[in-house]
C-alpha cells in the first residue's frame, strides 16, 4: 500500500483514513483513527446506478452517466459501464447523485434522551457524517461503541471529547451537561492533549474561558499530533489573534467584539471581569460578559478594523450555526413541517418542544441574529469557508432536520446554493484533511451518497428529496416505496 502524508495527519489510503503519531526516534506509529477504524467493512454487493446525473459542490452538475459502487467506494463513473456479477442495478434516470451530508456541530451525548434516536434520524435526513464538538468521553465512548457494533448502521462520527475550558468552566458540574473541563496551566493543557490522543479523538474543541497561555499550549500540543482544532474565541483573546491558529471557529461568537471601535478596551474590560468572576459559575459569568459587550460591540463596528479581522479568518472555517444564532428571525416552530418533524422524537422531548414558542424571548438574540445573517454573505464575499453545523440537539435542533434548516437559512442569508452545499460536504472534509476521499462524487471517493429526485444546486431544499441514502457503499435508507 502506498502512503503519502497529508497536512492533517491523515494518510491517504484506499481504505479508511489512518492517523500517524510521530515517535521521537523518527518512527511513525500508525494508529487507526478512532471511529473510522471501528467502522464495519462493507459487505454490500456492488451497486450500479444507471443514467444518473452526479452533482457535487466541486464539479457542479456533471454529465448523466453510470456510477459503479463497490467495496465502499466509487469504483468507476462513465457511460454504459459493465455490470459486475451480482451487482444490484438502480435506475438513476432523471435523478441526481450527491455526496452524503455532514453536520459539523452536534453533541451526541448532551441529552441522554437522544442517544438512541440521533444516529437513525441523521441517516433518515441524509446526514452520513457528523462532527461531535463536545462530549464527556465516559458517556460518548459507549455510544460510539454501540454505533459501530455488529449490524449497526450509523453515520461516521468524528469526535473531540470534552470542551477544553479554563476557569471557571462554562459547562461544568456532574450532570449530563457537564461536558467542559477546566485547565489552568500550560502543563495541564499539554497532558490533556496527550490523554485525548490516547483516547483516539479526531480533533479538539477549545472553549471560551481558557487563558491565552493555555490556548497557546493546546494549539502547540495539538499541532504536534496533527489534530485539527475547533474553537470558540476565548474571552481573554481577540478573534483575530485566535483565528489563524485554529481550523474552525464556532457560532461566529466573540467575533463582533473584535470588530468594534473600542475592541481593545472591551478586551481589557473582559479580562477584569474574568479575573473578578472566578468564584462565579462559568455559565453565568460568560452570559453576563456577552450581555454587557455583544450588542454594543455590534452597534459600534469599525468597518476598517472589521476588514482586518475578517482577513485574519482566511484559513479558518466559520461554522455560524445560523439556525441557532438567528432563532428570533427564523423560529423553528414557525415552519410548516416542524410538528411533523417533531413526531419522530420521543414523546418526552416532543411534548416539551411543542411549547418552545412559549419559552422563547423574541428579543433576547435579535441584534446578534441579524448580525449573524449579515455576516454570512460578508464571509462568502471574502472567500472565507463556511461550514454547516447546527448544535443538535441544543436549541430545539431536531437531528438531521435541523441541518436542512441550517442550509436553507444560509441560502436565505445570501449564500450561493453551491457554496451552501459545499458547507455540508467539501468544507467539513477539508477540516479533517480528507477532501481527497470524502465530500465529492468522484472515482475513488468513499461511497457515502444520496440519490435525490431533484437537483440541490437549483434549490437547496431539494437536498431533502431523498430516494436512497448510501453509506460505505451500502443502501441504508430506501425511500423509494414512499414515492
Q: For binding to Zn ion (CB under 5 A), which residues are involved?
A: 391
Q: DSSP secondary-structure letter at 301?
A: B
384 in Cβ contact with 310 (< 8 Å): yes
Residue 66 or 391 with smaller CB distance to Zn ion: 391
Supply the minimum distance, in Å, between the C-beta of residue 483 and Zn ion. 35
Using CA atoms, how far apart are residues 188 and 171, in angstroms rounded to an integer?
A: 18
Supply the minimum distance, in Å, between the C-beta of residue 103 and Zn ion. 11
Supply the minimum distance, in Å, between the C-beta of residue 132 and Zn ion. 9
Residue 389 or 473 with smaller CB distance to Zn ion: 389
Could you tell me which of 317, 324, 33, 316 has the C-alpha nearest to residue 159?
Answer: 33
In the three-class reduction of DSSP (H, G, I as helix; E, B as strand; rest coil), residue 179 is classed as coil
434 in Cβ contact with 425 (< 8 Å): no
Supply the minimum distance, in Å, between the C-beta of residue 290 and Zn ion. 15
Supply the minimum distance, in Å, between the C-beta of residue 2 and Zn ion. 38
Residue 179 or 239 with smaller CB distance to Zn ion: 179
Supply the minimum distance, in Å, between the C-beta of residue 453 and Zn ion. 32
How far apart, in Å, are the Cα atoms of 109 and each of 160, 308, 394?
Answer: 12, 38, 11
Residue nearest Zn ion, Cβ-based: 391
161 in Cβ contact with 180 (< 8 Å): no
Provide the grid cell at 243.
483565528
Using CA atoms, how far apart are residues 13 and 16, in angstroms rounded to an integer?
A: 7
Residue 251 or 385 with smaller CB distance to Zn ion: 251
Provide the grid cell at 25.
526516534
Residue 208 or 391 with smaller CB distance to Zn ion: 391
Residue 75 or 316 with smaller CB distance to Zn ion: 316
Phi and psi angles of residue 156, each rounded to the nearest 5 degrees, phi first: -70, 135
Residue 242 or 447 with smaller CB distance to Zn ion: 242
Using CA atoms, how far apart are residues 214 and 200, in angstroms rounded to an integer?
A: 22
Beta bridge partners of 260: 301
Supply the minimum distance, in Å, between the C-beta of residue 107 and Zn ion. 6
Provide the grid cell at 23.
515517535
Amino acid at each position: 500500500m502506498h502512503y503519502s502524508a497529508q497536512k492533517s495527519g491523515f494518510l491517504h489510503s484506499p481504505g479508511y483514513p489512518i492517523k500517524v503519531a510521530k515517535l521521537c526516534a523518527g518512527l511513525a506509529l500508525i494508529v487507526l483513527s478512532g471511529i473510522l477504524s471501528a467502522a464495519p467493512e462493507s459487505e454490500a454487493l456492488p451497486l450500479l446506478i444507471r443514467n444518473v446525473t452526479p452533482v457535487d459542490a466541486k464539479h457542479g452538475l456533471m454529465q448523466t452517466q453510470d456510477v459503479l459502487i463497490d467495496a465502499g467506494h466509487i469504483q468507476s463513473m462513465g457511460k454504459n459501464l459493465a455490470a459486475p456479477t451480482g451487482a444490484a442495478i438502480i435506475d438513476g434516470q432523471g435523478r441526481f447523485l450527491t455526496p452524503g451530508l455532514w453536520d459539523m456541530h452536534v453533541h451526541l451525548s448532551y441529552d441522554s434522551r437522544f442517544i438512541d434516536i440521533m444516529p437513525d434520524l441523521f441517516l433518515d435526513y441524509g446526514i452520513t457524517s457528523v462532527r461531535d464538538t463536545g462530549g464527556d468521553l465516559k458517556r460518548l465512548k459507549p455510544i460510539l461503541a454501540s454505533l459501530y457494533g455488529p449490524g449497526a448502521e450509523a453515520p461516521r462520527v468524528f469526535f473531540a471529547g470534552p470542551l477544553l475550558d479554563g476557569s471557571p468552566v462554562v459547562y461544568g458540574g456532574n450532570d449530563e451537561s457537564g461536558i467542559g473541563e477546566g485547565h489552568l496551566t500550560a502543563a495541564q493543557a499539554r497532558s490533556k492533549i496527550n490523554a485525548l490522543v490516547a483516547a483516539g479523538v479526531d480533533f479538539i474543541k477549545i472553549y471560551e474561558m481558557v487563558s491565552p497561555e493555555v490556548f497557546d499550549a493546546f494549539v502547540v500540543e495539538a499541532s504536534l499530533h496533527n489534530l485539527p482544532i475547533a474553537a470558540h474565541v476565548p474571552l481573554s483573546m481577540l478573534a483575530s489573534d485566535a483565528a489563524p491558529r485554529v481550523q474552525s471557529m464556532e457560532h461566529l461568537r466573540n467575533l463582533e467584539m473584535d470588530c468594534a471601535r473600542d475592541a481593545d478596551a472591551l478586551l481589557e474590560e473582559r479580562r477584569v471581569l474574568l479575573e473578578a468572576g472566578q468564584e462565579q459559575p462559568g455559565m453565568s459569568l460568560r452570559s453576563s460578559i456577552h450581555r454587557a459587550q455583544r450588542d454594543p460591540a455590534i452597534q459600534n463596528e469599525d468597518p476598517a478594523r472589521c476588514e482586518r479581522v475578517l482577513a485574519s479568518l482566511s484559513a479558518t472555517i466559520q461554522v455560524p450555526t445560523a439556525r441557532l444564532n438567528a432563532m428570533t428571525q427564523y423560529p423553528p416552530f414557525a415552519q410548516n413541517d416542524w410538528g411533523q418533524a417533531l413526531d419522530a422524537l420521543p414523546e418526552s422531548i416532543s411534548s416539551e418542544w411543542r411549547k418552545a414558542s412559549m419559552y422563547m424571548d423574541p428579543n433576547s438574540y435579535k441584534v446578534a441574529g441579524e448580525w449573524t445573517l449579515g455576516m454570512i454573505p460578508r464571509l462568502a464575499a471574502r472567500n472565507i469557508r463556511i461550514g454547516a453545523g447546527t448544535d443538535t440537539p441544543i436549541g430545539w435542533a431536531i437531528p438531521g432536520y435541523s441541518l436542512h434548516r441550517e442550509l436553507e437559512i444560509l441560502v436565505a442569508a445570501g449564500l450561493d446554493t453551491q457554496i451552501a452545499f459545499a458547507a455540508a460536504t467539501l468544507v467539513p472534509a477539508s477540516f479533517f484533511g480528507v477532501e481527497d476521499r470524502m465530500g465529492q462524487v468522484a472515482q475513488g471517493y468513499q461511497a457515502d451518497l444520496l440519490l435525490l429526485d431533484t437537483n440541490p444546486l437549483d434549490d437547496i431544499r431539494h437536498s431533502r428529496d431523498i430516494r436512497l441514502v448510501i453509506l460505505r457503499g451500502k443502501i441504508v435508507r430506501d425511500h423509494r416505496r414512499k414515492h
